[in-house]
Amino acid sequence: MAPTDHPSSGSASGPSPIPADMPYESAIAELESIVQRIESGEMGLEEQLAAYERGKALEKHCQTLLARAEQRFADLTAQMNAEAPKPSKA
């Protein structure tokens, strides 16, 4: 079976690095595509391994982005709570 020229298929030296500025939505879409390709059974073993490696890198990237978003949300919530007017005691 011939390898494809899909960007997530990797190479003999390993998968291409994930760009630090890759949006979450793009990473998830590529990850879903990789899963579909692996599940299709149309890939050879080496291509599956390269795709799996790329998928793990995308998963890590997504987890990092989610952790940043959660921290940003927590920071904004704390800031809003600190700026909220305190109820006066009558």
CATH number at 70 reads 1.10.287
Any domain includes 4 = no
Any domain includes 88 = no
Any domain includes 2 = no
Query: What is the pLDDT, as a whole number, of residue 13?
Result: 57
Q: Which domain holds residue 49?
A: 22-83
Query: For residues 18 and 58, is the Cβ–Cβ distance under 8 A?
Result: yes
Any domain includes 15 = no
Question: How far apart are the C-alpha atoms of 66 and 17, rounded to whole Å?
Answer: 19
| Residue keyed to tokens 């149309």 | 42
What is the value of pTM for the model shown? 0.72
Any domain includes 27 = yes
Query: What is the pLDDT, as a whole number, of residue 88?
Result: 74
Query: What is the pLDDT, as a whole number, of residue 8?
Result: 41
State which residues of the chain have pLDDT below 50: 1-12
Sign of the CA dihedral with 78 first, then 79, 81, and 87 last = positive
Helix (H, G, I), strand (E, B) or coil at 47: helix
Q: How many domains does the chain have?
A: 1
- Chain centroid to CA 66: 9
Query: What is the pLDDT, as a whole number, of residue 65?
Result: 97
